[in-house]
Amino acid sequence: MDYITLEKIVKEREKPSRFEHSLGVVEVSEVLARRFRLDVELSRMIGIFHDYNRYMDGDDMLSFCRKRGIAIQKEEEENPMLLHGAVAAWYFPRITNNWNEKAQLAIRHHTLASRDMGVLGAVLYIADYSEKGRRHIDDNDRLVIWGKANLEEMVLDVIRREEEYSYSINREIAKVTLDCKAFLLEGGKFAH
């Protein structure tokens, strides 16, 4: 399946505002994929699809994942909406017939980030946070994030912003996110 076909499928399912967000994610993903010489078409497909299951009920997502033996993290157990990445990762190959594991890992980890999300996951994580429709940051913040030299530094910057936000609302930061941060601080690189 190509991007255009997938975009039509997603458009039918998502509310206009969510679909706008998805298009914004595609736009940033494409720029980053070109800049770092990654698979542009695949990163666009990942971007348009990543929130495909955002409308599922939290409890349904929990049982969906349990039934299929998908590993659930503590923070996801407490806040099942976070599992929309895991559910979309399961659907992606079954809808697109593209069984590239890297695409599934990218979608799986877009909510909390992970050292295992790969370069395509890094692109999605950054794009999801910084696309132009996002109102929690301004254009100056966007330039700071996009101005970093590589994907690892960009992800680190986004994690720090997420951390700051979490402290401000008294929410604990997920273990997988902190683990990703530690990995990057030690000079870890995302897999290609």
Q: How far is the CB of 129 from Fe ion (least distance, A)?
A: 9
**Inter-axis angle of helices 151-168 and 118-130, nearest 10:** 50
Which one, 92 or 188, has the nearer CB to Fe ion?
92
Q: Which of residues 36-65 bind Fe ion (CB under 5 A)?
A: 51
Q: Cite the DSSP H helix spans in the chain.
A: 3-13, 16-35, 40-49, 58-67, 74-78, 84-96, 101-108, 118-130, 139-146, 151-168, 175-185
Q: How far is the CB of 143 from Fe ion (least distance, A)?
A: 21
Give min distance, CB of 107 to Fe ion, in A.
9
> Which residue, 86 or 156, has its beta carbon nearer to Fe ion?
86
From residue 121 to residue 160, the character string flagging contacts with Fe ion as x (rule: CB under 5 A) and all else as - is: -------x--------------------------------
Least CB distance to Fe ion at residue 92 (A)? 13
**58/188 with CB nearer Fe ion:** 58
Nearer to Fe ion, 125 or 183 (CB): 125
Q: Which residue type does 24 have? A: G
Nearest distance, CB of residue 187 and Fe ion, angstroms = 28
Closest CA to 88 of 177, 18, 4: 18
User: Does 162 contact Fe ion by CB under 5 A?
Assistant: no
**Contact status, residue 29 vs residue 47, Cβ threshold 8 Å:** yes
Could you give the angle at which helices 84-96 and 58-67 cross, rounded to 10 degrees? 60
CB 88 within 8 A of CB 52: yes
| Closer residue to Fe ion in complex, CB, 14/157 | 14
- The count of other CB atoms within 10 Å of the CB of residue 46 is 34
Chain positions contacting Fe ion, by CB under 5 A = 51, 128
